[in-house]
Structure 1
Amino acid sequence: MEEAQAELERQARERLIGQALFTQALEQKSPTIPDAEVDARLSQFEQEVAASGMQIDDMLEQAGKTREDLRQELRQDLAVQALVEEHMGDQDPSEEELRQLFDQVADQLNRPEQIQTRQIFVAFTDDGTTPTEERKQTARQRADEAFKRLKAGEDFVKVFDELSTPMPAAGEGGEFPFHARGELPPPLDDAAWALKPGELSEVLESEYGFHIIQLEEHREAAPASFEEHRDALARHQLQQNIMINVPLTALELRKTAKIEMLDETTGEFVPAPAAAEPTAEGEPVNEN
């Protein structure tokens, strides 16, 4: 029992020492990351977000973050990578690693049949409370007005800006990202998939209000290609390689660090015990 407790204490101590050393080294490394590298990583990230059907500003708004917050996170990621590579060598995945990863996840990356829509939404109420019949009638009149203006050829974005209730998931002009069957509530989903590009639905009612859908584009299902996803896979595998080597990097940092701990018996600081060698998975092994 005492041996088990001692081992738990040793592991906790090793984690704290490793975290402290790594954090200290990062504080020295982060300011040295060139802005050009941060800009390049940000551009790459924006392209990956756009490929998923989202806009980076919308994603940041939903996460409650700013572009500067994202830049700082990317700078930190680059600093971690630089620190690990300084001690453990290049972490970029090989072509063979990427091919193996693609084979493992290809089925998940296959693109299903998708549509992209715009939508005008007129909510029953602004506060989500149970609507009265009078409020429902008022909302219906507003939706009917929007429908008539659209059928008369008026610009969808203009009508959206003037009559639609804001929708957090919608982009500019009520545009939604590409989505597969079943991702909208049944009445809306059925109506959207029955449209041809450019066509409008009738005024549709849901539990929240009235909707008018316009189909923008229809994509057929397509198998994933390695080339299409290579950059995203490389970024994912790079992060995996780095995280595996963070404990090993902390061990390398410890080899040259002067670490002392308080001896509770004497009240004096004494050299901390040597760290155990990590396994291939990065977890220290107690050799005693």
Structure 2
Amino acid sequence: QALADAVAPHATTVLLFGDTGTGKGMLARYLHGRSPRAGRPFVELNCAGLSRELTESELFGHERGAFTGATARKLGLLEAADGGTLFLDEIGEMELAVQAKLLKVLEQWRFRRVGGVVEHDVDVRIIAATHRDLEKDAAEGRFRMDLYYRMNVFAIRLPPLSERRDDVAALARRFLEEQRRGHRLSEEATELLLGYDWPGNVRELRNIMERAAILAPPGGEVTLAHLPPLGPRGAPESTGALGAAERALIESTLRAHDGNLAAAARALGVSRGLLYRRLAKFGIAAGADAGTEG
């Protein structure tokens, strides 16, 4: 926390290291929110699984006719983030050819759209994240050494949640507060969360609290009844009964509102986005358009 607060106000590039789900994206947003750029855009790109062409188009944009299918000019994420922060998640997966172009941006703060000849100035803070050992990758030729040193101005390592047990209760309360249903976390529920190893890290904790926010009554306590039975040594135990109860609650609410997602989300007291995620998890058909009423 102290480290993040110290670097947040500055425009320096930050490189976040940590296992999948440790909260790197959340920390990137925190750094942006505590910086002078907080009122400007926060834009993110997950580099994993993207081809060189797609990554370049997403980052730098392209001109009309730059490639087959480029029927109009497209502004890239660098321009979208101008004045704000660009978060590059899983930068270790970025292809070497794109890394070379990103290095030029970091050195000159100028870029060209794909298929363009004009160079554009950009004012953006770049925060990147990875679960890989970039120093090792650079030494073995899988990542540009010059880009690694340019990105690694300020490094923050996020340990797994199992090593940050003091953060568990505060994060759980924060995730509940995000649902805006006035929930409180019972002492017994807190003890259960503190005793779990969290192999899925912060992401797993968020998912569990989102589910609890659906099951617990608005304004009430989140108790053991609203949490999956978490084993003391790693993986959660069977969540079949609790999952069935949650699914039944969602399905009955959808039926009561004729499949209207917006109305069902209001009745459940959760955000539309959270309801969409739970529908996807249980494979429940979406039903009526979320943007219509009745």
Answer yes or no: same fold by TM over 0.5: no
Structure 1 or 2: more helix by fraction: 1
Q: TM-score range by the shorter chain?
A: under 0.3
Query: TM-score under structure 2 normalisation?
Result: 0.23
Higher Cα Rg: structure 1 or 2?
A: 1
The structure, 1 or 2, with the larger RCO (C-alpha pairs under 8 Å, 6+ apart) is 1
